[in-house]
Amino acid sequence: MKAPWFAQLLDQLPLLNQLQRQQLLAALHPAGGLDRVVALIDEIRSTGRRCPDCACERCHRHGRANDLQRFRCCACGRTFNDLTGTPLARLRHKGKWLDYLETVLDSRTVRPAAKRVGVHRNTAFRWRHRFLERVKHDRPARLAGIVEADETFLLESQKGSRKLDRPPRKRGGRAALRGISHHLDCILVARDRSGQTIDAVTGRGALKVVHLVTHLLPKLDPEALLVSDANAAYPAFARAHGVAHQVVNLSAGERVRNSVEGAIHVQNVNAYHRRFREWLARFHGVASRWLPNYLGWLWALDGRRVTSIEQLLRIAFGVINT
């Protein structure tokens, strides 16, 4: 619009009534969301921008497309934008992304989120897992001091899969076998006393030493004291890798034991399990394949660690530990 016309338009704004003002704001909202998200993407990605193909840091501007600046790599000549090679590449309706991220911060389920943002529920579901794909990797580098570890189990679910590898269960079904079996997904959680937490979906069935080696050992400070229940995998793991270890014998009624290192218990990690289950209940059963994303989502929200859509978008790009 030419400048004099725009000046005229601005002059007329005081003439609007309340309803018209609201209609105008609603009409401008997606564009406002688009401007904001484009500016945020540029801010997040401008430091360390490099070619997704050859990792060269030298590139020059190469026009705009789909509301984003395109770049051309000086080394290989490929063109890219700030979303290329990220889980957010080729997602549409950028003007609605920030509204959508609000629904993630609010833990909204798919239908209310879709309604709030104004997209189809399938889109809301697809966005959920695109935005969470890197959120699940945003984890502390180290667990130190007293580190509580314990596993919890959820009924394995193939929700949304076209082919099941077992007979279908009735709605709200239960495991066909008692105790820990291949009908249950095992989730390992380890949490130190400063609240740093890691988790891993180790697969169906009981926890094994190899799971602790894969998921816990790389994160465990060499001086850490591991505390667990009486599951035999923990002492075997601790002995094999020279990890200091104490057991709380829950089945013998022991809850807390005082030692020179501090209070020996697994109550923090069990409380985390409880928060995860209670929070997860709103989704009415999630597919096993998506469990890591939900664990990442809870870790972002737990203890109000992530409270703004800007922070969340940053983590969705894999800019982690901020």
Binding stretches for Zn ion (CB under 5 A):
51, 53-54, 56, 73, 75-76
In the complex, minimum distance from the CB of residue 75 to Zn ion, in angstroms, rounded to a whole number: 5
DSSP letter for each residue of 48-93: T---TTT--S-EEEEEEETTEEEEEETTT--EE-TTTTSTTTT---
- 7 vs 56, beta carbon nearer Zn ion: 56
Q: Provide the total of helices (H) and of strands (E) in the chain, helices listed first.
A: 10, 10
In the complex, minimum distance from the CB of residue 45 to Zn ion, in angstroms, rounded to a whole number: 16
| The residue type at 157 | S
Nearest to 187, CA basis, from 165, 216, 158, 167: 216
In the complex, minimum distance from the CB of residue 76 to Zn ion, in angstroms, rounded to a whole number: 3
- 75 vs 256, beta carbon nearer Zn ion: 75
- 51 vs 184, beta carbon nearer Zn ion: 51
| ∠ CA 147-150-155, rounded to 5° | 150
Q: Order across the sheet with 59-65: list the strands.
A: 59-65, 68-73, 79-80
| The residue type at 47 | T
In the complex, minimum distance from the CB of residue 56 to Zn ion, in angstroms, rounded to a whole number: 5
In the complex, minimum distance from the CB of residue 42 to Zn ion, in angstroms, rounded to a whole number: 20
Nearest to 107, CA basis, from 312, 261, 246: 312
In the complex, minimum distance from the CB of residue 69 to Zn ion, in angstroms, rounded to a whole number: 16
- 54 vs 230, beta carbon nearer Zn ion: 54
Alpha-carbon distances of 101 from 128, 184, 308, 320, rounded to whole Å: 9, 31, 9, 17
Residue 167 DSSP one-character state: P
- 54 vs 141, beta carbon nearer Zn ion: 54
In the complex, minimum distance from the CB of residue 51 to Zn ion, in angstroms, rounded to a whole number: 3
- Residue 183 near residue 150 (C-beta atoms within 8 A): no
| ∠ CA 111-116-121, rounded to 5° | 30
- 72 vs 130, beta carbon nearer Zn ion: 72
- 56 vs 141, beta carbon nearer Zn ion: 56
